[in-house]
Amino acid sequence: MPPAYAIQRLALHCLVSSNSPARENTSPNSLNVLLVGGGGREHALAQAIAASPKLGTLYTSHPGNPGIAAVATPAGVPIDAAQAYRAELFCRDHDIDLVVVGPEAPLAEGLADSLRRKGVAVFGPNKDGAQLEADKHWAKDLMRGAAVPTAESRSFTDAEQAVQYSLSRTEPPVIKATGLAAGKGVVVPSTHKEAADAIRWMLNDKAFGDASSRVLIEERLEGPEVSVFALTDGTGVYILDACQDHKRLLDGDEGPNTGGMGAFCPSTLIDDAMMSRIQREILLPVIDSMRREGIDYRGVLYAGLMFTHSGPKVLEFNVRFGDPECQVLMPRLASDALEMLYATATGNVESLELAWHPGAAVCVVLASEGYPQKPITGQSITGLDEAAEMEGVFVYHAGTKHDDASGQVITAGGRVLGVTALGDDLEQAKDRAYAAADKIRFNGMQVRRDIAAATVIAPAASRNS
Which residues inside 216-255 make contact with ligand GLY, applying CB under 6 A? 245
Does position 281 bind ligand AMP by CB under 6 A? no
133 binds, among ligand AMP, ligand GLY, none (CB under 5 to 8 A by kind): none
Residue 260 binds what, of ligand GLY, ligand AMP, none (CB under 5 to 8 Å, by partner type)?
ligand GLY
Position among 260, 311, 372, 423 found at the interface with ligand GLY (CB under 6 A): 260
Is residue 263 within a helix (H) or strand (E), and if so which, with residue range? strand 262-265
Q: How far is the CB of 245 from ligand GLY (least distance, A)?
A: 4
Helix 159-167 with 192-203: angle, nearest 10 deg: 160
* Nearest alpha carbon to residue 283 among 327, 226, 325, 326: 226
Looking at the DSSP bridge assignments, the partners of residue 13 are: 238
Q: Contact 309/223 with Cβ under 8 angstroms?
A: yes
Q: Which is nearer to ligand AMP, 109 or 325 (CB)?
A: 325
Interface segment toward ligand AMP; rule CB under 6 A; list 33-41, 155-163, 212-220, 403-411? 212-220
Taking the C-alpha atoms of residue 320 and residue 340, their distance in angstroms, rounded to an integer, is 15
State in angstroms the smallest separation of the CB of 181 from ligand AMP: 9
Residues 6+ apart with CB under 8 A from 223: 306, 307, 308, 309, 458, 462, 464
Is residue 42 close enough to count as binding ligand GLY by CB under 6 A? no
- The verdict on 67 binding ligand GLY (CB under 6 A) reads no
Query: Binding residue for ligand GLY (CB under 6 A) from 129, 179, 322, 372?
Result: 322
CB of 404 to ligand AMP, least distance (A): 36
* DSSP reduced 3-state for 32: strand
**Using CA atoms, how far apart are residues 398 and 379, in angstroms rounded to an integer?**
14
Cα 60 → chain centroid: 19
Cα(150)–Cα(396) distance, rounded to whole angstroms?
33
From ligand GLY, ligand AMP, none, interface partner of 318 (C-beta below 5 to 8 A by class): ligand GLY
Q: Interior CA angle at 299 toward 99 and 279, to 5°?
A: 165
Among 325, 336, 339, 350, contact with ligand GLY (rule: CB under 6 A): 325
Q: Which CB, 315 or 387, lies closer to ligand AMP?
A: 315
Binding ligand AMP (rule: CB under 6 A), the pick from 225, 253, 288, 431 is: 225
Q: How far is it, in rounded angstroms, from Cα 358 to Cα 352?
A: 18
CB closer to ligand GLY, 325 vs 350: 325
Residues found near ligand AMP in the complex (CB under 6 A): 151, 174, 186, 188, 218-221, 225, 247, 257, 304, 315-316
Residues found near ligand GLY in the complex (CB under 6 A): 183, 245, 259-260, 318, 322-323, 325
